[in-house]
A and B are shown apart, each in its own frame.
Chain A
Amino acid sequence: MALLALAVAGPLARGQETPLITGSIAFLHGTNRGQTSYLPAFMPLAVVPVKQRLLFETRGLFTESITPRAGKSYQTRFGRNLNYLQLDYIANRHMTIVAGKFLTPFGTYNERLSPLWIANFQDGPLIFSLGSNQSAGVGGQVRGSAFANNTVAVDYATFFQANVGGTQFKSSRATGGRLNFYFPASGFEFGTSYDHMFEGQHPNAAGMHVWWTPHNVPMRFRSEFARSTHTKGYWFEVGYRLARSTSSEDSWIGRLQPLFRMQQTFRNSADGTDGAPGVDEKRVDFGLDYYLPHEARINTSYTRQIAIGATGNIWKTELVYRFAFPAWPGRSR
């Protein structure tokens, strides 16, 4: 049977499981209604395979916010955040058990688009906080690929987590999950998410996402809708790489990617804890990204923010660089 399995699987790939250090470095500049700020940011990620089925991974974010003050001085503020620190056990082909501090699997932005080198816009969507339980929590998660063939792929994630606060160890417990359907031939994907908190008024949050990545057009369409007890909202983003094929991505025009994002939130009643805007808000983002050689990228964007008492223009520019290298030398072959 083992020989048969090897024959079916073919020769083993040569990829090695050497511990990895990757991440991104960015320098962000923004002007929000005339107020300028600078933000150097460093987001390292370490991935250490312990054995064939065990994986340790952790990611952090370090920032230094620099804001010019009257005169020639600057106000600075250092920020650090442990995004996640988790141990993954690949139990079988359908199930992976995750323990530790992990990103809440609600919607798509938190897990997929939050890395600096992936996000097309510097700002996350307005509805990002709905259902994400402050982005991460400590607990356990079961996830994996439920079913996959050439027609459809179904994956899932369920979690239980607690956010432990610094004040008298106040915690907020939550549970939820996500179910995702992907159709590889068309590049179409949709899914739904759910989150329930056990504290306060036991609020629920539900979400839905639709992505479309056609294979013959260098376009990405992403969208999400989420609602909680007091707020609901949506965002959608379209990006089009000005390249006809993979080879033309190296031309100067093929490195350009115009972007458009629209987002809106609707407030039903006041809630200072859900993280969404306190009043109805609408934002329109226009972006232009330029992919430089050697994993560097320039992101620029203009945002028109429309809300009561907060209408204005936001200009942002970012230089981001992605790195990935082994933590130590691998085996020679």
Chain B
Amino acid sequence: MIRAWIASGLMGCCFAVAGAQNAQPAKGMDSTQQARQAQSGEQGTGQKPANTAMETAGEQKFQQNCSRCHNAPQELSPRISGTVVMHMRVRASLSEADARAILRFLAP
């Protein structure tokens, strides 16, 4: 039972750390929110239309590749989006072009 308490404590620590990360998002808003706003044309992104088109293409690649296994993350810091895409490029055998497009969607 001691190990169970240690495991529970460890879980609590992780929740606390994750909560702190959620409470301090990267500058501005998180990447998926930015991408959704850019796609819907809301103010605040300052993106050019060409960039918006590329992000839409990136979202399409995300739906085609990543959503086969899991849902989109609700929040993802731009600081780790490059790492996530590298990891998934290996795990899911993504093509280089698809990985680049998905990265643009996650971190516009």
Contacts and interface: CB of A to CB of B under 8 A. Distances in A.
Interface residues of A, number: 63
A143 B95 CA distance: 11
Contacts of B17: 323, 325
A244 B31 CA distance: 23
A213 interface: yes
Contacts of A74: 1
Given A42-B7, A49-B82, A13 B15 contact: no
Contact of B107 (A14, A19, A213, A326): A14
A15 B4 contact: no
B42 interface: no
A82 interface: no
A62 interface: yes
Interface of A: 9-11, 13-20, 25, 40, 42, 47, 49, 55, 57, 62, 64, 66, 74, 76, 78, 88, 90, 93, 96, 98, 111-113, 117-118, 143-145, 148, 153, 155-157, 180, 184, 187, 189, 211, 213, 215, 220, 291, 293-295, 321-326, 329-330, 333
B104 A13 contact: yes
Nearest to B48: A11
Given A76-B3, A213-B67, A47 B11 contact: no
B15 A25 contact: yes
A42 B10 contact: yes
Contact of B8 (A13, A14, A40, A157): A40
Given A40-B4, A295-B73, 18 more contacts: A9-B100, A14-B78, A15-B78, A15-B82, A17-B86, A18-B79, A49-B83, A55-B90, A90-B90, A96-B89, A96-B90, A148-B98, A155-B93, A187-B68, A291-B71, A323-B18, A324-B84, A329-B79
Contact of A148 (B8, B77, B95): B95
A117 B70 contact: yes
Given A25-B11, A25-B14, A294-B22, A16 B79 contact: yes
B15 A321 contact: yes
B108 to A, nearest CB: 7
Interface of B: 1, 3-4, 7-8, 10-11, 14-15, 17-18, 21-22, 27, 31, 50-51, 54, 63-64, 67-71, 73-87, 89-98, 100, 103-104, 106-108
Contacts, number: 157
Main secondary structure of the interface of B (DSSP, over half): helix
Nearest to A184: B64
A156 B93 contact: yes
B1 A211 contact: no
Contacts of B76: 324
Contact of A98 (B74, B75, B90): B90
A308 to B, nearest CB: 35
